[in-house]
Amino acid sequence: MMSEHKIEVALSELSSRQLRARRRRTLGRLPDLEGYLAGSLVEQRRRCGKAGCRCSRGELHGPYVYLSVGKATGRRALVYVPETLADAVRARVALSADAQRLLAEISAINLELLGRRELE
């Protein structure tokens, strides 16, 4: 992924007309956001603590998948993802990351146009 600085440098070299065309193309690449699910996936393995269990010999249980999400308080929370939903959640998190990247590009274009006093 391009850093914001590199995007800004490249955008500053484009004409306003080219920027607007790029913004339209980027908007067209936005996925259907119905499945948007912000967060990141975390896999953990656990030790149960039962004497004689395989995990006491180092063979941990899992992996268990969790979705790490932000709370309104700014604290993070882990939401357990059942194995049957793990692939669907992975796909939605990837879709969300793509959408965020495209929205960041649109924002950078609009910022460049604003700096030129040509924001429409």
pLDDT digits (tens, 9 = 90+) for 35-55: 999 999 999 999 998 888 999
Task: Residue 105: count other Cβ atoms within 10 Å of its Cβ.
Answer: 21
Q: Is 61 part of a structural domain of the chain? A: yes
pLDDT tens sequence across 6-37: 554 588 999 999 999 999 999 999 999 999 99
100 and 1 in contact (C-beta within 8 Å)? no
Check whether 101 has a pLDDT greater than 90: yes
Report CA Rg, the chain.
21
Collapsing DSSP to helix, strand or coil, 43 comes out as strand
pLDDT computed for residue 79 by the predictor:
93
Residue 120 resides in a domain: no
* b/e code 42-80 from CB counts within 10 Å (16+ = b): eeeeeeeeeeeeebeeeebeeebbbbeeeeeeeeeeeee
Domain that holds residue 36: 4-115
pTM: 0.73
50 domain residue, yes or no: yes
- pLDDT for residue 105 is more than 50: yes
CA pair distance 117, 120, nearest whole angstrom: 9
How many structural domains is the chain composed of? 1
Contact in structure between 93 and 41 (CB atoms under 8 Å): yes
